Structure 1
Amino acid sequence: MVTPRNFGSVSAAAGASGTWDWDIRREILHIDEHFADLYGLQPEAARAGLPTSIFFQAIHPDDRPRIRIAVAGLLAGAELFAKDFRIVTAAGAVLWMHGRGHCHLSDNDEPLRFTGLLVDITERKRAEEKLRIAQSAGGIGSFEYIDGFATVTVSGEFCRLLGLHPAPVLPVQTINGVLLDDTAPLVPGPGDTRIPESVDAEFRIARSDDGEERWIARRGEIIHEGAGFRLVGVIYDVTAAKRQEAELREWSDRLESRVAEEVAIRQQAEEALRQAQKMEAVGQLTGGIAHDFNNLLMAVMSSLTLLRKRLPADPATDRLLDSAMQGAERGAALTQRMLAFARRQDLTSERVDISALVTGMRELVERTLGPAWTLNLLFDENLPFVLADSNQLEMAVLNLAVNARDAMPQGGTIIVSARLCHDGSARHVRLRPEPYIALSVIDHGEGMDEITLARATEPFFTTKGVGKGTGLGLSMIHGLAEQLGGGFTLHSVLGEGTEATLLLPVASAGSLPVKAQQTPADIVADLPSLKILAVDDDGLILMNTVALLEDLGHEVLEAGSGQEALELIGENPDLNLLITDQAMPKMTGTQLADLVTLEHANLPIILASGYSELPEGCQPRIVRLGKPFTQEMLEQAIIQAMRSAAQPA
């Protein structure tokens, strides 16, 4: 609860103003220190959200219903809130305020925020009151002009207001001589064709006696008499009111400027959101294509493996098989890049020494770049380890170095640097507030314009010639960085060069490398013949998996769905192993594994998937087999699953 305090000091500060920001959904009012001062609140109120009722509490009871109705109208769709109202201070003083505000709407026209400006107009209201008093008890000068005359009948107060020597009659020329603007005369003269349709007008004058600039208002009536007329009216000083209006216009302009800035920021945020949604959609599509492509490649690679074993030795045939296998492996590498962009590749997170990794691959990078390019390594001392996949990180560095080389076709220096970065947001990416290593590859080559830079990480976008790039390099690096919990930024200036930066999370003291996978030399390949159930909804993949298993000497049952697999498991209690696909309709591989474990807790299970991520809670004893897999990888997974099942739970 905020404590009101004495408001007397503010009343003297005519024109003081403050701002408010009303969060409509949360019913919280945020105000600045000036608003708090005007309302007589403690300064802490400017730094903490207040209940919206505080907006109305100090409003004079007679004005409160009117203001509540105006605010409700704004929230219901009115374009602008602009009202004068009184507030009552803790000391009992009544002050006048002018509130002007604007409602911000969501995309579906739902009111989100009500922001505005509060201005102290007490002095202006007092001036208006003085004017009303002057109209009834002096302070107003009267005049009468008859068409065709060169003089005007005036009162003494009329002369005083204009700084003229008192006289009952003054020349028209003398009266109009005090005007600073010649847009219209204060009093028309003989033959003057600019007779006003209305007497009501305001004029800027310089008083005749002291030269002081003032504002004079004219009110009256034109009385037509035959072919002529009489102009009867009064004048009075409105300088204070005009100054208040000017101040109010200034603050109003500032508010409108602030609103315009907020609209621009909102538009930028919406554009960033649309771009993020677009890239997410592209990532989903790319991941789906890569998954299906993995299945096709697996069928090709497994068929080629079995075909090589069954064909008689022939050099020409072997060359054809080698070419086909190399093409399939290149396709598998392409799908890995696509899955990297979609953040679905299979990564091994481990503690990596950035300095040692890049230094160790220096010879490889220099040999890849060629003699016309110099590699310069700049690393801060004692850099902490990062959590990353060393193989994928090496590929990313090499890819960025090749891009830097291609941007400098005549040769040049490529810089690879690494430094500790405590604030990822400083590199224009949204990351958690924790330390990162910024690994940058910098060239001084052609650079990119804004349009090219905006599309650089899109999949299949490339500025290289046909056959010189897949357009997946930067998108793969972008996906790799995000999957590791970091980020990737590009800064480029056309004609000056490009800086590509990987932000990788620093490994905590307790994080350890993942245990390295066993190599073929570590595996005992003398397993007995097993009875294995293979499950996959893709008939082509299922057929090839069965063929690979049978070639290894195992007895294989096959099922095209999770339900069919459950029925076969019930009919075959002597089953030794279950190999199942993950992405299947109606029942996924992990759901099948959970149901099987309820009745057959010791049955070894292998889960095959082209995606890296698996649902939370997936059983840790399940062996994961990435697609596409070779016969050797399948054999390794079988041995690992059998060993895992033999160990105590």
Structure 2
Amino acid sequence: MLAGADAGDDVRAILAAAGASGTWDWDVVAGELRIDARFAELYGLDPADAQRVLPTRLFFKAIHPEDQARIKIAVTGMTAGAERFSKEFRVVAPDGETLWMHGRGQAHFDEQDMPVRFTGLLVDVTERKRTEERLRIAQSAGGVGTFEYSDGYATATVSGEFCRLLGLHPATTLPVRTINSVLKNKDEPDLIPEAHRGGPPDTLDGSFCVVRSDDGEERWIARRGEIVRDKDNGGYRLIGVIYDVTATKAQEAALRDLNETLETRVEQAVAERQAVEDALRQAQKMEAVGNLTGGIAHDFNNLLTIIIGNIDTVIRRFDPGADPRAKRALENALKGADRAAALVQRLLAFSRRQPLDPKSIDIERLLTGMADLLTRSISESIAIQIVPAADLWTVEADPNQLENVILNLAVNARDAMPDGGALTIEARNVTLAPDAVSDAPAGDYVAISVVDDGIGMAPETVEKVFDPFFTTKEVGKGTGLGLSMVYGFVKQSGGHIQILSTPGCGTTITLFLQRYLGHSAALAADVVPVDEQAGGHESILVVEDDDDVRAYTVGILRELGYRVIEAHDGSTALKLLERADPVIALLLTDVVMPKMSGSQLADAAKALQPGLGVLYTSGYTRDAITRDGRLEAGVDLLTKPFTYTTLASKVRDLLDGH
């Protein structure tokens, strides 16, 4: 054995001469340590120490404190009978630099197998260790784990990142079965193919779904590498890397889903576009019809003012002793004219040209106040229930028009229940999310629903129900303007309307009126009674471009005792106003006139005579109202057609300052 030791001494001498390593010779029996100059250099010792016999404790002096215990245990094993020593450890140089050493040693025994010497080589592996550290950091930063497997073995050499990717305990070697146990589908090929399962795979390229061992999370892992074959013995090694491709797999799945559903999404997009185009065409149609009906209403109201006014004049002056049939004929003619005026008013409502006088409204109070009116208007075979929710928000709208709308909807519901049924009018606070109701912006609303359990409507009927002149009633039973009037009022009031109906299951029409954040006001102020026949002696300037309407208006006012000056246009009226004596008390002017509108005339007249009262008359109030359909502040309006009574009452009311 000592001869073998002499051969080892020769090898160490050759390596030491080449500067590849330092050597040591530990005399176990004497407890002495001999080192060469390279060992002394690697340990940071004085070169002179290589010429002396040193105490064995010097072997541990420069070893890093964290590694000393481990190396002492290994050396103790050698002196207790272990044959070989192979350890990597750190030494601290005198300048504080830490170096990595690889010590490889062997024990030598006497004839009684007792260790007598411990010799070995000390190699500087600092650069290799630093390279390994850089590689480890690169793998960790890049999320790449490495592995190496040799056929015939049950373990594989792995990196720390390899273990982290699979959720396994950090290790440098792992059993192949442990690695393959993380696969979700046990029928898939193994992540590390073992030799006894059919030899090496054709390729290391592939991806696997794994269930991480630590947290149970499912991840997709890709494997890439090479198969290295040993030509001499027919064996092979698998050397490769793994990395996480979960995000890529998710993107691939999303892309597949995108491609598979492309046709469906295209169909949906086309349908949505068609719906938008249909809604646009419907809005354009409604706007066009509204403009048309608004213009027609203006002319009709002028004609009706003449017709109704003159019939009313004849009736008031009718000789009581005359033929009663003639008086009935006149009264019937007046009723027909009134009906025509009501139709024109509905046209204005649909076209959103009617003048509104909005006020803050307590909806609960309004609905409760309508109970008697609804009961009188609805058949006894229909049970009426009014259900206002508690703490209803205030809304702002024209209360009279809102009552008309609710009454109109109630009458329509009555007609949909010829055999009786139940009619419910309910109100509640709602906060609409975006797109909750078509064309309705998100926000707070009070929803007023009129619900019946009548015959209901088919979808194609619901689509046309707000069109003017569309009706499902028999000829002569309806004009087709009721719901179009409702639609116009709600839109003009800044609200929205929704209709839900099923044949045989009834209809629900819901008005959404925006919440008003101001203070609630009374529904109706106390009205100062005015003698509808009362006249006066004040001076009134009447401006009207229609000669017949102007003659009718001037005739009534003069009959009431007023001093009247008349003009057919604005410029003439201003000239009369400049030289009027006595001072004009009231300007009564048409709204729509050529060259100068009624509002322009009023502005110029007030500049000449501050404090002048103004009363507008019009059958088409576009110029007297704001863009949202509301009367300008301080505007007083007498809508055409008007009668002797309404004109007398309105004029006296304004002159008295009510």
Task: Report the TM-score range of the alignment, normalised by the length of the smaller protein.
Answer: 0.5 to 0.7
Q: Secondary structure at the match of 1:521?
A: coil
Question: Does the alignment pair 1:636 with 2:649?
Answer: yes
Q: Aligned residue for 1:281?
A: 288
Q: Aligned residue for 2:450?
A: 441
Question: Does the alignment pair 1:398 with 2:407?
Answer: yes
- 2:369 alignment partner, one of 346, 360, 366: 360
Q: Aligned residue for 1:536?
A: 544
Q: Distance in 2 between matches of 1:410 and 1:465?
A: 17
**Structure 1 pair 362–603 and aligned structure 2 pair: CA distance change class (3 A):** closer
**Structure 1 pair 300–406 and aligned structure 2 pair: CA distance change class (3 A):** same
Q: Which runs of 5+ in 2 are unaligned?
A: 1-137, 145-201, 204-250
Q: Secondary structure at the match of 1:435?
A: strand
Q: Aligned residue for 1:301?
A: 308
Q: Distance in 2 between matches of 1:342 and 1:539?
A: 27
* 1:408 alignment partner AA: M
Contact 1:424 1:436 in 2 (8 A): no
* 1:411 alignment partner AA: G
CA deviations 1:169-205 (Å, max 9, x no partner) are: xxxxxxxxxxxxxxxxxxxxxxxxxxxxxxxxxxxxx
Q: Aligned residue for 1:428?
A: 437
Deviation at 1:245, TM superposition (A): 11
CA deviations 1:351-386 (Å, max 9, x no partner) are: 333333333333432343223222233332232333
Q: Aligned residue for 1:568?
A: 576
TM-score, normalised to structure 2's length?
0.56
Highest Rg: 1 or 2? 2
Q: Secondary structure at the match of 1:442?
A: strand
Q: Distance in 2 between matches of 1:247 and 1:384?
A: 47
Correspondence 1:504-519 to 2 at 5 A:
504-513=513-522, 516=525, 518-519=527-528
* 1:574 alignment partner AA: P
Between the two proteins, the alignment pairs up a number of residues equal to 411
Contact 2:318 2:327 in 1 (8 A): no
Contact 2:625 2:632 in 1 (8 A): no
CA deviations 1:620-645 (Å, max 9, x no partner) are: 5553222222223222333344345x
Q: Secondary structure at the match of 1:508?
A: coil
Deviation at 1:256, TM superposition (A): 6.2
Q: Distance in 1 between matches of 2:644 and 2:514?
A: 36
Q: Distance in 2 between matches of 1:487 and 1:403?
A: 19
Deviation at 1:508, TM superposition (A): 2.4
- 1:545 alignment partner, one of 524, 530, 553: 553
Deviation at 1:581, TM superposition (A): 0.4
Contact 1:490 1:501 in 2 (8 A): yes
Q: Distance in 1 between matches of 2:316 and 2:533?
A: 21
Question: Does the alignment pair 1:312 with 2:319?
Answer: yes
Deviation at 1:323, TM superposition (A): 2.1
Deviation at 1:492, TM superposition (A): 0.8
Q: Which runs of 5+ in 1 are unaligned?
A: 1-5, 13-159, 162-243
Q: Aligned residue for 1:351?
A: 360
Q: Secondary structure at the match of 1:445?
A: coil
Deviation at 1:251, TM superposition (A): 4.8
**Structure 1 pair 511–431 and aligned structure 2 pair: CA distance change class (3 A):** farther
Question: Does the alignment pair 1:627 with 2:640?
Answer: yes
Q: Distance in 2 between matches of 1:460 and 1:619?
A: 31
**Structure 1 pair 334–314 and aligned structure 2 pair: CA distance change class (3 A):** farther
Question: Does the alignment pair 1:557 with 2:570?
Answer: no
Q: Secondary structure at the match of 1:383?
A: coil
Q: Secondary structure at the match of 1:574?
A: coil
- 1:472 alignment partner, one of 468, 481, 500: 481
* 1:473 alignment partner AA: G
Q: Distance in 2 between matches of 1:11 and 1:263?
A: 45
| Structure 1 stretch displaced more, 250-259 or 532-541 | 250-259
Q: Distance in 2 between matches of 1:381 and 1:245?
A: 54
Q: Secondary structure at the match of 2:357?
A: coil
Question: Does the alignment pair 1:588 with 2:597?
Answer: yes
Contact 2:315 2:331 in 1 (8 A): no
**Structure 1 pair 623–294 and aligned structure 2 pair: CA distance change class (3 A):** same
Contact 1:408 1:444 in 2 (8 A): yes
Q: Distance in 2 between matches of 1:607 and 1:249?
A: 69
CA deviations 1:86-115 (Å, max 9, x no partner) are: xxxxxxxxxxxxxxxxxxxxxxxxxxxxxx
| Structure 1 stretch displaced more, 304-313 or 329-338 | 304-313
Q: Distance in 1 between matches of 2:336 and 2:272?
A: 49
* 2:644 alignment partner AA: Q
CA deviations 1:309-366 (Å, max 9, x no partner) are: 4442236143333222222222222222222112222333233333333333334323
Q: Secondary structure at the match of 2:391?
A: coil
Contact 2:638 2:647 in 1 (8 A): yes
Q: Distance in 1 between matches of 2:466 and 2:651?
A: 39
Q: Distance in 1 between matches of 2:355 and 2:573?
A: 27
Contact 1:487 1:502 in 2 (8 A): yes
Correspondence 1:306-345 to 2 at 5 A:
306-314=313-321, 316=324, 317-345=326-354
| Structure 1 stretch displaced more, 349-358 or 536-545 | 349-358
Contact 2:359 2:397 in 1 (8 A): yes
Deviation at 1:495, TM superposition (A): 2.3
Q: Distance in 2 between matches of 1:445 and 1:476?
A: 22
Q: Distance in 1 between matches of 2:356 and 2:416?
A: 30
Q: Aligned residue for 2:610?
A: 601
Q: Aligned residue for 1:108?
A: none
Q: Distance in 2 between matches of 1:11 and 1:563?
A: 88
Q: Secondary structure at the match of 2:425?
A: strand
CA deviations 1:1-45 (Å, max 9, x no partner) are: xxxxx9x99999xxxxxxxxxxxxxxxxxxxxxxxxxxxxxxxxx
**Identity across aligned pairs (percent)?**
42
* 2:578 alignment partner AA: G
